[in-house]
Each structure stands twice: as structure tokens, then as C-alpha cells.
Structure 1
Amino acid sequence: MSTYYSEDHEWITVEGDTATIGITQHAADQLGDVVFVEMKEPDDEFEKGDDIGVIESVKAASEIYAPLDGVIVEANEALADNPGALNESPEGDSWIYKIKLSDSSQLEDLMDADGYKALIG
């Protein structure tokens, strides 16, 4: 299992042709208290860069951008009932989507943990 990071402060863990996507601790800290998460439905197809959801906090509403091409397999419905879980465990149980990858070569465009640490300083 490998973990990658996007410039949009998302983490992507890949196992086979399935990726789990969430926001990083840095993103959660910048957002402040999350009050609502809007997610797409399973079977929705998208391309890298597409808007695939919204995270609303007391500070702002931030779009979630697809870090890769794929199809949503599962949305984390627990976030609908408890959006604040994104603040508690953004890189753990509070993942946002599980997707089926359409083009695994796009992983090469993402960062590893060291690259992401350099990005956020």
C-alpha cells in the first residue's frame, strides 16, 4: 500500500486499482471546524481536477478536487452525520472516497510524504 499527496492537500492511499482519498492534517487545520461535507454518489465518474465535493467549515467552503481519474466506489457516509470527524482524524478513519483508478500512471504526478512536507514547509 502506497500513500501519495496532491498539491490540493489531499492524501491518496493506493491498494491494487483502488484508491482511498481524504484531506491532510494540514488542510483540516487550515479549514478549522468542519460543519458539512457534500459528496458525490457511488458510480460517478470524474477526471483529474474535477470538483468532486465540498467541505464547509466555520471559516470557508472548500471544493474537493479529484487528484486522479476514476469512478467513485464508496463515499464515507459517516461524514454526513459527523463532519467534524475530518478535524479529529483527517488522515485516518475520516477518508472521503474510495475510487477505482482509471489511469494509474497519474500517480507519478503526485508527491510522496517528503515532497508534501516540503510543500507545506
Structure 2
Amino acid sequence: MITKAGKEFKNIEKCLAYIVANVRMSNSTGKADVNVELERFVKRLLNLYYGLNFELASGISSTYPAIDLIDRGARVACQVTSTNSVKKLKDTMRSFDRLEMSKDFDELKFFILSDKRGA
């Protein structure tokens, strides 16, 4: 017998799988606007789950090109991506270091919405 929590978890899994498929399809056809919507969705999700106050970095400052979400109070930055590759992670970390974002943030998190790992 599946519990109510189990049913809710399965529903969340289905929703995330749908989002992954939609993002993959949109990106393959060159529609990048889905990535902005993904950032907004993840912002709300992480704020709710972790009790943070993430804001879209693009709406605040252009000085944070390597990150998408920032919570200045908690000093947390987050990269939201549908690209699950080591290169993407390393490039983001290099930019974070090169631009000395550690002066503003103690943590850099990644939210990767992808169904498989890239090279």
C-alpha cells in the first residue's frame, strides 16, 4: 500500500520529468526562454523548501554572470541549468572565482534539471 506522501512524491517525480522533457525539447529547437521560466520556478521551489530568499540575479545586477539566483542575506548563489556536464560546472566555478564572487557569497549551489550526465 502506498502512502499519501508516497503518492505526492510520485506526482512530483512526474512533474519534474515533464519539465526536463520540455526544457530539453525547447533547448533543442533554440527556444531559450524556457530557461528563464525554469529559473523562476526553481527560485520559488528553493525558497519554499529551504526557507531562503532567492532573487533572480539578472534582475538585480549584471555583475553575476555565472549565477542565476542570489540570496544576499544568506550569502548563497545558485546556478540553474539544464546542462549536466563537468565543463559547465567547472566554467561556472572558474567564473565565480575569477569575478571574486566569494566576497558576496559563501556558498555556490547548482540546480541541474537533466535526466542524464553529459561530458
- TM-score, normalization: structure 1? 0.29
State the structure with bigger RCO (CA 8 A, min sep 6), 1 or 2: 1
- TM-score, normalization: structure 2? 0.30
* Higher gyration radius (CA): 2
Give the number of the structure whose residues are more often strand, by fraction: 1
